[in-house]
Amino acid sequence: MDIYEKINELYDRKRQIELGGGDDRIAKQHEKGKLTARERIDLLVDEGSFVELNPFVEHRTTDFGMGDLAGPGDGVVTGFGKVNGRDIYLFSQDFTVFGGALGEMHAQKIANVMDLAAKNGAPFIGLNDSGGARIQEGVVSLDGYGHIFYRNAIYSGVIPQISVIMGPCAGGAVYSPAITDFVFMVDKTSQMFITGPKVIETVTGEKISSEDLGGSKVHNAISGNAHFRAASEQEVLQQVRQLLSYLPQNNEEKAPVSDAPDMEDYRADLTEVIPFDAIRPYDVRKVIEQVVDTNSFLEVQPEFARNVVIGLARIKGEVVGLVCNQPKVMAGGLDIDSSDKASRFIRFCDSFNIPLITFEDVTGFFPGIKQEHGGIIRHGAKILYAYSEATVPKITVILRKAYGGAYVALNSKSIGADLVFSWPNAEIAVMGPQGAANIIFSREIAQSDNQEATRAAKIEEYREKFANPYVAAARGMVDDVIDPRETRIKLIQALDMMRNKKETRPTKKHGNIPL
């Protein structure tokens, strides 16, 4: 045999590996509306940039007849490539090989590429399509999951981690995506659950389909376990590419800066967006659209806890993280789910050096027995904690109402905001004028001959005294009361001023955020 024959043999072997579980299983995968592991990689990375690692790895199990079964690549393709010209590392589970089930060597390949991603400071992306722990390998496959979860945890906040669910993801397997920063799902073909419909029916008697139990809609709109969903695999992989364009490569870098758009910084229409009447709803996304660079807002978790709007955007080309009350839903009040949603996003932005901008219009934490018994105290505390520990530039703009504990929690000066701006129509107080007047003037109102007139007069008295931004501004809790039309200009100036912001915290192992 000469060297050319050896090279031909190498190519033959690689071709065989690339066939995965073979033509029949590939056809089955396509029939389900799913792409193969390699087709997905081709759609995700820049053309021709993917470099595969460990293609020759095979399992070494002999139990249950496995000794006779070849499993090319052990059911997972791993490697590195580029997205938008920047490095990424990935795995893509191959459902055509043992149903993408995770065994010892499969796990080892994933752990290796995670280590490479962390050492080289680049995002890590997992394309999940797997029957879970490989049943024939028993505890060895469970151990494999442990090695992956461990890396998900210790590399959290070091490199961005993204999970894309493109098939089943069941049992303990779900904990890897749950630790990652962003979870994407595909409508109808991806499901996540700890125990499937059959087990649930056996244990609790409840009947439910896989899709209704853990499909993309459920996790995006109800459980909050996922952040994005798409109608097809092609679309979801484009969404991942888009998200990556906002992110720094690692926690020591800043997010990439884009060219500043050709747009007016003075936004004349901002006076029209918010109703002057303080109780009328509006869509805060209209404020966001006016302030950030045109078409740059990427909303995160748009279907979950819609009373808070979060997302990434650019202002004069610089990436920022936005946390905003949504007065259109539950009057923008904060509840358990929105507290969790906002807090995790604040911590993500802080981990990866993305300045935070808060648009505030909040009536308070949402009242109710369900909220209290569900632990709103503990969940609401997460927001305070997340803002307090964050050291990135932190700017708040009070658009209209800022009441009570929610005023404090939403990046007030007292918990570390660098700058707080307020629009002139803002009301900053312990509670709304109606509630306040009814409590502090209850005796005068009760003793009055005309209770309704006295109540109205007292409400107005309270509104004039406290429901404005000038009391807070007089004490420096608001840095400036601004013309709404200058909001973008003020934010550009503030971000520029804090370009080199450095803030340190006392040395500690880590804090203990209320979970």
Ligand X SMILES: CCC(=O)SCCNC(=O)CCNC(=O)[C@H](O)C(C)(C)COP(=O)(O)OP(=O)(O)OC[C@H]1O[C@@H](n2cnc3c(N)ncnc32)[C@H](O)[C@@H]1OP(=O)(O)O
* Distance from C-alpha of 298 to C-alpha of 239, rounded to nearest angstrom: 10
Asked if 134 interacts with ligand X (CB under 6 A), we say yes
Tell me how far, at minimum, the Cβ of 142 lies from ligand X, in Å.
6
Which residue stretch of 8-16, 168-176, 257-265, 281-289 sits at the interface with ligand X (rule: CB under 6 A)? 168-176
Q: Which of 173, 323, 334, 402 binds ligand X (CB under 6 A)?
A: 173
Burial of 10 (0-12, 13-18, 19+ CB in 10 A): exposed
Q: How far apart are CA 328 and CA 179, in angstroms?
A: 31
Q: Which of residues 468-487 bind ligand X (CB under 6 A)?
A: none
Q: Tell the smallest beta-carbon distance from residue 210 to ligand X (Å).
A: 8
The single residue of 405, 416, 435, 457 carrying the catalytic annotation is: 405
> Residue 172 catalytic?
yes
Count the residues of the shown chain that bind ligand X, applying the rule CB under 6 A: 16
Q: Give, rounded to a whole angstrom, the gap between the first and last alpha carbons of the chain.
A: 64
How far apart are the C-alpha atoms of 413 and 152, rounded to whole Å? 34
Out of 73, 171, 256, 469, point to the residue binding ligand X (CB under 6 A): 171
- Tell me which of 89, 124, 145, 348 binds ligand X, using CB under 6 A: 145
Q: Is 403 in the site for ligand X (CB under 6 A)?
A: no
Closest CA to 247 of 325, 345, 354, 146: 354
Indicate the residue type of 414.
S
Q: Which of 21, 131, 171, 332 is catalytic?
A: 171
Return the DSSP state at 275.
-
Decide if residue 255 touches ligand X (CB under 6 A): no
Task: State in angstroms the smallest separation of the CB of 340 from ligand X.
Answer: 25
Interface with ligand X includes 26 (CB under 6 A)?
Answer: no
Q: Is 72 in the site for ligand X (CB under 6 A)?
A: no
Identify the residue among 17, 170, 386, 478 touching ligand X (CB under 6 A).
Answer: 170
Considering the complex, state which of residue 18 and residue 389 has its C-beta at the smaller distance from ligand X. Answer: 18
Q: Give 130 or 353: the residue with its C-beta nearer to ligand X.
A: 130
Local structure of residue 411 (DSSP, 8 states): T
Out of 80, 91, 98, 182, the residue judged to bind ligand X by CB under 6 A: 98
The piece of 8-16, 167-175, 323-331, 437-445 that touches ligand X (CB under 6 A) is 167-175
Rg (CA), the chain: 27
For ligand X, which stretch binds (CB under 6 A), given 165-173, 201-209, 275-283, 350-358? 165-173
Residue number, 131 or 327, with CB nearest to ligand X: 131
Q: Which residue in 121, 138, 157, 172 binds ligand X (CB under 6 A)?
A: 172
Report CA-CA distances (Å) from 196 to 33, 178, 220.
21, 17, 18
Nearer to ligand X, 145 or 246 (CB): 145
70 binds ligand X (CB under 6 A): no
Residues 359, 284: contact at Cβ < 8 Å?
yes
- Of 172, 374, 404, 435, which one is the catalytic site residue? 172
* Residue 405 annotated in active site: yes
CA distances from 504 to 158, 298, 388, 501 (A): 18, 30, 12, 10
Nearer to ligand X, 131 or 432 (CB): 131
Alpha helices by DSSP H, listed for 329-423, are 336-351, 369-373, 376-389, 404-409
* Element holding 466 (H helix, E strand): helix 451-466
User: Is residue 138 a contact residue for ligand X (CB under 6 A)?
Assistant: no
Q: Whole-angstrom Cα distance, residue 180 to residue 250?
A: 14
- Secondary structure of 173-233 as H, E, C letters: HHHHHHHCCEEEEECCCCEEECCCHHHHHHHHCCCCCHHHHHCHHHHHHHHCCCCEEECCH
Which residues make Cβ contacts (< 8 Å) with residue 272, sequence separation at least 6? none
Measured distance CA(297)–CA(393) in Å, rounded: 19
Q: Does 213 bind ligand X (CB under 6 A)?
A: no
214 binds ligand X (CB under 6 A): no
Q: Write down the least CB distance from residue 483 to ligand X, Å.
A: 56
Residue from 125, 133, 284, 349 binding ligand X (CB under 6 A): 133
Question: Quick one: 17 or 357, whose CB is closer to ligand X?
Answer: 17
Please state whether 330 falls in left (phi above 0), alpha (psi between -120 and 50) or beta.
left
Phi and psi of 60, rounded to 5°? -130, 35
Binding flag, residue 35, ligand X (CB under 6 A)? no
Cβ neighbours of residue 161 closer than 8 Å, sequence gap 6 or more:
123, 124, 125, 126, 152, 155, 179, 180, 181, 182
Which window, 60-68, 98-106, 290-298, 338-346, contacts ligand X (CB under 6 A)?
98-106
Nearer to ligand X, 64 or 266 (CB): 64
Q: Is 398 a binder of ligand X (CB under 6 A)? A: no
Q: Which of 101, 107, 313, 406 is catalytic?
A: 406
Nearest CA to 92 among 150, 35, 155?
35
Nearest-approach distance from CB 322 to ligand X, in angstroms: 36
DSSP label of 250: S
Query: CA 20 to CA 94: how far, in whole Å?
Result: 7
| Residues paired with residue 357 on neighbouring β-strands, in sequence order | 322, 395
Q: Does 83 bind ligand X (CB under 6 A)?
A: no
Is residue 178 near ligand X by the rule CB under 6 A?
A: no
Q: How far is the CB of 222 from ligand X (least distance, A)?
A: 21
Binding to ligand X by CB under 6 A, coded x per residue (else -) over 405-424, reads: --------------------
State the catalytic residues. Answer: 171-172, 405-406
Q: Would you tell me which residues interact with ligand X (CB under 6 A)?
A: 98-99, 101, 131-136, 142, 145, 168, 170-173
